[in-house]
Amino acid sequence: MPSRILLALIVSSLAFGCASEPTCADACENLESCGKLQDGVSACRKACEEDPTVLEEDVRCFADSTCAEMRACFHSTSPAVCWEMCGHVYDHCGLSLRSRDGELDKEGCLALCRTEMPENEAQCVRRSACNRISECL
């Protein structure tokens, strides 16, 4: 009987451990192990934790990818451009973007920009007058 309890505890602790979200520390350690960091793990972790443009799915991608898979984690549109574009749309213009799945909040805007929007399109939106944003999309 005690061995069943021990087995149940091990299984539940493993399941709980697998359910936790990857952290910036996990992502940076994986980047370091793949030789992708220039400034070290602590600088990477600090930048990751303090940068508002870092998305949860980016952290997950860098933490969970093998070195060979990691290339897919880098996106073509820079986080800074996306942050400025979404700030312009949501904060300055008081508008919102729509995707195939419906209206996006600001976090959804950042994710869409980073994964699906070409940088020239994001730059166009960022520089447009509020009433002319649709011309860029």
Query: Strand pairing partners for 98?
Result: 103
Closest CA to 114 of 83, 90, 136: 83
Closest CA to 27 of 41, 7, 17: 41
The pTM of this model reads: 0.53
Q: What is the distance of C-alpha 26 from the center of its chain?
A: 14
From first to last of its 137 residues, the chain has per-residue pLDDT tens of 444 443 333 433 344 445 578 999 999 999 999 998 888 999 999 999 998 778 888 899 899 999 888 877 876 688 888 999 999 999 999 999 998 889 999 989 988 888 788 889 999 999 999 999 999 98
Please, what is the end-to-end C-alpha distance for the chain in angstroms?
A: 64
